[in-house]
């Protein structure tokens, strides 16, 4: 990997408002105003933002369809010492958009990549969902194909975390039906039009949200926050013997007495029995 050089420019990953223009930070305004180039998914959309804040800048289109050609051009500009501000249509660039590719290319070339924080739909939905925020998994948009979507949902079924997804209004009901069928009826918060005039949260379960949409047709972009499901069942062939599980927990750093108590409770066997087996193995347990 190339080493960082002061002659190189800097790639600024600038967050922009997801709805409310008051969420634009003073730092982001300054970065956009000072950048030699502003790379945007939709130059017309970004131009409206720049005009609102009276920012004059050289706009360059950088989207999913042009990222290979434009990415090479932007990297060339960075290596020549130009500063580039990268923005998405809303929120953080690099999350569920092509900005990730440019950041990787810049880092590989030794170019400094700097985050300029701001609004983010996933985190806004998470903190106001009423569902545990730690740990969480961000899945972005599910595949558009029904077959691929259902396969992906199955893969994520047992993730031990709150799951955050983005979805379009014309697919939201199909997605919820697939989730209900494959994950069961989990607690859910469904947020739409975040930070905008018609911001709305529906908090309930997957099935009750589907009922809600029967009387309230979905409109606007959605962010789903879905509670963690049940632990993945352990296959009989994969299940450790009780004593082996105790040893594995101890090896992972758990206190011996705590490991004995946990396994005895889960396996519904006397703790003393496990204790004696451990002693027979030559391992002592402090009283």
- Residue located via tokens 């080493």: 3
Q: Is 76 left (phi over 0), alpha (psi -120 to 50) or beta?
A: alpha
The per-residue pLDDT for range 221-253, each reduced to its tens digit, is: 999 999 999 877 765 445 678 888 888 888 777
Q: How far is Cα 247 from Cα 251, in angstroms, rounded to an integer?
A: 6
By DSSP bridging, strand 162-167 and strand 59-61 are unpaired
The Cα 9–Cα 14 span in angstroms is: 15
Averaged pLDDT, 34-55: 94
pLDDT of the residue at 236 = 47
**Cα separation, 181 vs 5, whole angstroms:** 53
pLDDT tens digit sequence for 142-197: 999 999 999 999 999 999 999 999 999 999 999 999 999 999 999 999 999 999 99
Using pLDDT thresholds of 50, 70 and 90, give the confidence band for residue 37.
very high
- Supply the pLDDT for residue 269: 86
pLDDT band at 4 (very low <50, low <70, confident <90, very high): very low
Give the DSSP per-residue string, 159-176: -SSEEEEEE-TTTHHHHH
- pLDDT at residue 165, as a whole number: 97
DSSP 134: S
């Amino acid at each position: 990997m190339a080493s960082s050089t002061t002659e190189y420019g800097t790639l600024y990953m600038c967050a922009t408002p997801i709805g409310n223009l008051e969420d634009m930070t003073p730092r982001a305004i300054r970065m956009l105003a000072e950048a030699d180039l502003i790379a945007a998914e939709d130059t017309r959309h970004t131009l409206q933002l720049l005009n609102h804040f009276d920012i004059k800048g050289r706009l360059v289109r950088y989207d999913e369809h042009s990222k290979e050609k434009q990415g090479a051009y932007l990297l060339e500009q960075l290596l020549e010492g130009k500063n580039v501000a990268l923005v998405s249509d809303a929120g953080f660039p690099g999350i569920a958009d092509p900005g990730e590719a440019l950041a990787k290319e810049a880092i590989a070339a030794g170019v400094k990549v700097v985050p300029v924080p701001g609004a983010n739909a996933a985190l806004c939905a998470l903190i106001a969902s009423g569902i545990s925020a730690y740990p969480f998994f961000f899945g972005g948009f599910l595949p558009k194909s029904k077959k691929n979507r259902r396969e992906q949902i199955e893969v994520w079924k047992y993730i031990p975390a709150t799951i955050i997804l983005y979805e379009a209004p014309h697919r939201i009901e199909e997605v919820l039906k697939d989730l209900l069928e494959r994950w069961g009826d989990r607690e859910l918060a469904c947020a739409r039009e975040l930070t905008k005039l018609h911001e709305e949260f529906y908090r309930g379960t997957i099935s009750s949200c589907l009922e809600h949409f029967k009387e309230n047709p979905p409109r606007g972009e959605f962010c789903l926050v879905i509670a963690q499901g049940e632990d993945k069942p352990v296959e009989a062939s994969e299940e450790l013997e009780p004593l082996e599980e105790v040893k594995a927990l101890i090896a992972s750093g758990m206190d011996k007495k705590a490991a004995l108590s946990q396994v005895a409770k889960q396996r519904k066997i006397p703790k003393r029995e496990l204790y004696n087996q451990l002693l027979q193995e030559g391992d002592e347990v402090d009283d």
